[in-house]
């Protein structure tokens, strides 16, 4: 399967890749920006996928061997794929804390865009944190008008515990 992610910025290429990994034995993803390339390579290494990367005319082609798919019946030693195993991945043990309603410091529009992208990717990932904790201005992320509330709810349905600071809710008058 070929996934053409050229022209898309993060987090869209990684979401496209993750959706494709659910159904295909081998995938080629086409990327035309370094940030998406680096994020995809980190994801592949962290999740022990075997891959090849080649640079084409103004884009990269990453070929992925999806050994997770049960339908694969070829030998991996026939392919010069790279692999990096991460044995220490803990499933459902991480806790993520949000003390602000944007990501990072600096431009507010960029911070809002980054937090939306983060929650979009987090809600689609296979390895989830056990808890999301919201305090101080971070409680704004769990209001009905929050741009990320649908992803927070999706994570809650998947079993992630949502912890909200009651004093902060009172302070910001968000009841």
For 59-97, write each residue's pLDDT tens digit: 999 988 876 544 333 333 333 333 333 333 334 568 899
For 45-59, write each residue's pLDDT tens digit: 888 888 888 888 889
Query: What's the CA gap between 105 and 96, in Å, rounded?
Result: 18
Contact of 47 with 58, CB cutoff 8 Å: no
Nearest to 3 by CA among 22, 95, 35, 162: 22
Contact of 155 with 142, CB cutoff 8 Å: no
Which residue spans of the chain are classified as CATH 3.30.110.40?
2-78
Sorted by sequence, the CB contacts under 8 Å of residue 175 that are 6+ apart come out as: 169
Superfamily holding 2-78: TusA-like domain (3.30.110.40)
Question: What is the pTM (predicted TM-score) of this model?
Answer: 0.54
């Amino acid at each position: 399967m070929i996934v053409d992610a050229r022209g898309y910025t993060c987090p869209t290429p990684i979401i496209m890749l993750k959706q494709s990994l659910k159904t295909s034995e081998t995938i080629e993803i086409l990327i035309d920006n370094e940030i998406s390339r680096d994020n995809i390579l980190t994801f592949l290494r962290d999740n022990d996928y075997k891959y090849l990367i080649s640079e084409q005319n103004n884009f990269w082609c990453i070929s992925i061997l999806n050994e997770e798919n049960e339908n694969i019946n070829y030998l991996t030693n026939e392919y010069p794929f790279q692999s990096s195993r991460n044995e220490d991945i803990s499933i459902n043990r991480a806790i993520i804390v949000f003390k602000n309603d944007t990501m990072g410091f600096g431009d507010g529009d960029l911070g809002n865009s980054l937090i939306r992208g983060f929650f979009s990717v987090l809600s689609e990932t296979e390895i989830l944190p056990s808890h999301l904790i919201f305090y101080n201005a971070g409680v704004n992320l769990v209001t009905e008008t929050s741009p990320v509330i649908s992803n927070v709810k999706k994570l809650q349905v998947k079993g992630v515990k949502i912890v909200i600071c009651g004093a902060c809710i009172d302070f910001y008058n968000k009841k």
